[in-house]
């Protein structure tokens, strides 16, 4: 590609806004799309995103709009950063505007509750002919927007990887490459369930020993599940897997961990969801993952207990007792 690449970011939540800022600092022509025309116009006018990313200024050079045809015209790459449960509806409306052969980089993390599909699989079905990639790893919007360094993995078709990797990388944004797009997407989805469990652990005040054990056994569940679907084991021990799991499970910025902590403190799922406009993907991913795990015969005891706490009113302390009282086995 010659000149300054044009990158269109679909989704002006916290992560989408932060990614648009990073790519602007990388010297690219960046356009940021939002579905809520009124709120998007507010961001464009004030250069602030108070609903999703407080305390930072959106650079003037980023074109912020809800005019998808204009923002997508001539795009060299599209970063898809809408909530997983809305990927299908967004692509239904504006997917046809994405230029032919334009790479679509999926940055949302989760699994569609009804179908069990990861976002990249939805894109492959709805955007025939466009190369689809997954960009994931330990990466909080709040830190990206303040130019703190982050390293991620870009996974997808091998031929286009090096060029896209080079385009997206920058001084504070290091991108590694992988051809295991399925594994990267599954890591991004399933780690959110384990992060909810980690938050519950924090809310109950169970200590470092318990949390370390939880994350270790949770990673084992993630890996078993991914391998059963054809993903590569090593992907779960890299940035997409253990890297993202650590960040999501320990950071105060992590939405899934924060939800779990509030549950550990005694709030209900309904109370928590009613109090925030931010999407907590692990909630919707949990059922989709366990449905597939049951079909595949994959053991996921941590995820099962998270589901019981979220949807069956199981007391968090009872879930802990159930996990600790399971039959003894080899690691």
CA distance 243 to 137: 6
H/E run at residue 175? strand 173-178
Q: What one-character-per-residue DSSP string does 15-43 give?
A: HHHHHHHHHHHTT-EEEEE-S-HHHHHHH
CA distance 290 to 95: 30
State the DSSP code for 127: S
From the candidates 109, 191, 232, 278, which is the catalytic residue?
A: 191
Tally: H helices and E strands in the chain = 15, 8
Sign of the torsion formed by the C-alpha atoms of 110, 42, 89 and 179: negative
CA distance 150 to 173: 5
**With contact defined as beta carbons under 8 Å apart, do 84 and 112 qualify?**
yes
Active site residue 232: no
Tokens of 222: 């993630």
Tokens of 157: 């078709």
Active site residues: 191
């Amino acid at each position: 590609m010659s000149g300054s690449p044009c990158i269109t970011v679909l989704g002006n939540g916290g992560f989408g806004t932060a990614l648009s800022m990073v790519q602007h600092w990388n010297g690219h022509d960046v356009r940021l799309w939002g579905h809520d025309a009124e709120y998007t116009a507010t961001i464009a006018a004030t250069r602030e995103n108070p609903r999703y990313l407080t305390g930072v200024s959106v650079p003037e050079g980023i074109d912020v709009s809800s005019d998808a045809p204009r923002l997508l015209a001539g795009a060299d790459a599209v970063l898809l950063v809408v909530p997983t449960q809305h990927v299908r509806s967004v692509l239904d409306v504006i997917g046809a505007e994405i230029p032919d052969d334009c790479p679509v980089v999926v940055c949302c993390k989760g699994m569609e509750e009804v179908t069990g599909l990861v976002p990249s699989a939805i894109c492959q079905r709805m955007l025939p002919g466009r190369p689809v990639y997954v960009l994931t790893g330990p990466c909080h919007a709040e830190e990206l927007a303040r130019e703190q360094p982050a390293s991620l993995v870009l996974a997808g078709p091998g031929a286009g990887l090096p060029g896209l990797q080079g385009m997206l990388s920058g001084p504070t944004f290091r991108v590694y490459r992988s051809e295991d797009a399925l594994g990267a997407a599954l890591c991004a989805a399933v780690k959110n369930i384990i992060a909810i469990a980690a938050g519950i652990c924090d809310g109950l005040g169970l200590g470092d020993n318990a949390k370390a054990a939880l994350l270790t056994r949770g990673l084992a569940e993630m890996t078993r599940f991914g391998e059963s679907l054809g993903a590569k084991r090593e992907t779960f021990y890299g940035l997409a897997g253990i890297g993202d799991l650590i960040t999501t499970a320990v950071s105060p910025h992590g939405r899934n961990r924060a939800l779990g902590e509030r549950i550990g403190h005694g709030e209900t799922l309904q109370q928590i969801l009613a109090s925030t406009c931010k999407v907590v993907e692990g909630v919707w991913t949990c059922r989709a993952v366990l449905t597939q795990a049951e079909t595949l015969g994959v053991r996921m005891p941590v995820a099962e207990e998270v589901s019981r706490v979220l949807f069956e009113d199981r007391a968090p302390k009872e879930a802990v007792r159930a996990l600790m009282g399971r039959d003894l086995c080899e690691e």
